[in-house]
């Protein structure tokens, strides 16, 4: 009887072990597939540009299939199809089966936009990919250091804070009315643009209500704040404010029309890290004063002397976006400092891992420095981290330790084409940094 019980217990344990094994096997398979799915998701871009009127081979090697169709069609005005085998009818376009696990040859005409609804292995929902044409474009890579001055679109609220009133109380008059990130654009119905003017209005208010028009998260609001007298005899509302920003960066390129792009990332407020809404701005000539080398955990920095004289103005700032600042160069003789001739842009699918170079004027003159492209991220969610580069140039490593603040916007060149711009440094590895695709800088 005892032997039977022992065999039964062994059987039950064996059965339990098998269940545990099957569970762990199933669980690990799910985790492995999830990781595989995320990996494949990141390998396929959400937007693919192809050069207009030129056959181009795409080879992403992603096991995804689906149908390609024209996104929007105006009846009677179709233009040339982006894929030559797609035909059009009066109702729109016929979908074309497409397999991104194989090479795809595309031929595009200007201003056509197609979409591909893809499924992993042709079964699992994956993502929708837009395919757009981009006209052949040549730009002059720059790399010159620029002084940046932007005027905010209103009075920017950095933060709120308390102070001691003349009665000895701790007060914050604007509490619940203003918050970090607000733009004050009018007081009592009068337009406002200068911090100095707003401060004077507060100090001469005699404690009477101020009716403020503010913009918060792109919505216009009305709030009323009552200033209080502080211990120093000045009326205050308890808000830290500013109306402008300045800094040093790098111009990425200028096109044949004199339009430029710089930085590769947005101008953000240093205290709130919010993208700054600007009313206007300008670029100025800048002299490099010093370079702080980058160390592990301590990003380096270029210190420049911005020359705000009228004759030192380089151009205007017309836009501030997540992909950089944009505008026109007004001082054409300044462009003589560029060391490259006009060159074509490279679309992301043309970029390769391996050797490249950047252009920077950290020594005062534009020079080329060797780098290595060590990773390409096609996922469109983080444009400013699309490329990962590593500085291999001994001269630049000796001078700066790698990538330093102020080099943002330095153009990246590979195979005779401009592929992107430096955007950020890896704080713990200053010899490495991130970059943005040049096509994303051209979107604006």
Establish whether 287 is a catalytic residue. no
pLDDT of residue 423: 94
Mean pLDDT for the stretch of residues 187-207: 92
Of the residues 265, 360, 410, 424, only one is catalytic, namely 265
Of the residues 182, 193, 393, 410, only one is catalytic, namely 393
Establish whether 393 is a catalytic residue. yes
> What are the pLDDT digits (tens) for 115-131?
878 888 778 777 788 88
> What are the pLDDT digits (tens) for 405-437?
999 999 999 999 999 999 998 888 999 999 999
Mean pLDDT of the chain: 84
Establish whether 265 is a catalytic residue. yes
> What are the pLDDT digits (tens) for 220-248?
999 999 999 999 999 999 999 999 999 99
Of the residues 360, 408, 410, 424, only one is catalytic, namely 408
Q: Is the pLDDT of residue 180 over 80?
A: yes
> What are the pLDDT digits (tens) for 365-412?
999 999 999 999 887 667 888 999 999 999 999 999 999 999 999 999
**How many Cβ atoms sit within 10 Å of the Cβ of residue 386?**
26
């Amino acid at each position: 009887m005892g032997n039977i019980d022992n065999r039964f217990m062994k059987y039950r344990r064996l059965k339990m072990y098998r269940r545990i094994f099957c569970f762990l096997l199933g669980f690990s398979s799910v985790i492995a597939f999830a990781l595989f799915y995320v990996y494949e998701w990141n390998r396929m871009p959400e937007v693919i540009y192809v050069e207009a009127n030129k056959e181009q081979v795409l080879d992403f090697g992603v096991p995804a299939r689906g149908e390609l169709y024209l996104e929007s069609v105006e009846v009677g005005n179709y233009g040339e199809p982006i894929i030559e085998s797609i035909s059009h009818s009066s109702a729109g376009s016929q979908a074309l089966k497409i397999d991104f696990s194989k090479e795809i040859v595309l031929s595009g005409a200007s201003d056509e936009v197609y979409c591909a609804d893809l499924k992993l292995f042709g079964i699992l929902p994956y993502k929708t990919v837009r395919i757009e044409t981009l006209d052949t474009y040549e730009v002059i890579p720059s790399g010159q250091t620029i002084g940046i001055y932007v005027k905010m679109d209103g009075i920017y609220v950095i933060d709120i804070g308390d102070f001691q009133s003349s009665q000895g109380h701790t007060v914050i008059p604007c509490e619940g009315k203003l918050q970090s990130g607000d733009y004050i654009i009018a007081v009592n119905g009068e337009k406002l643009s200068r911090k100095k003017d707003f401060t004077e209005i507060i100090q001469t208010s005699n404690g009477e209500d101020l009716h403020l028009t503010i913009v918060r998260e792109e919505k216009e609001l009305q709030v009323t704040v009552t200033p209080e007298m502080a211990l120093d005899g000045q009326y205050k509302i308890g808000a830290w404010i500013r109306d402008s920003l300045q800094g040093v960066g790098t111009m990425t390129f200028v096109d044949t029309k004199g339009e430029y792009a710089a930085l590769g990332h947005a101008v953000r407020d240093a205290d709130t890290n919010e993208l700054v809404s600007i009313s206007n701005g300008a670029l100025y000539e800048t002299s490099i004063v010093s370079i702080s080398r980058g160390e592990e955990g301590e990003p380096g920095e270029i210190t420049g002397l911005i020359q705000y004289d009228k004759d030192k103005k380089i151009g205007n700032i017309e836009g501030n976006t997540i992909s950089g600042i944009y505008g026109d160069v007004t001082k054409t003789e300044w462009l003589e400092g560029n060391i490259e001739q006009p060159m074509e842009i490279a679309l992301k699918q043309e970029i390769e891992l391996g050797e490249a170079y950047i252009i920077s004027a950290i020594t005062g003159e534009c020079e080329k420095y060797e780098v290595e492209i060590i990773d390409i991220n096609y996922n469109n969610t983080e444009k400013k981290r699309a490329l990962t580069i590593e500085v291999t140039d001994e001269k630049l490593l000796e001078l700066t330790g790698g990538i330093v603040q102020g080099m943002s916007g330095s153009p990246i060149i590979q195979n005779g084409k401009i592929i992107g711009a430096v955007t950020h440094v890896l704080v713990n590895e200053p010899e490495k940094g991130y970059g943005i695709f040049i096509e994303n800088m051209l979107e604006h």
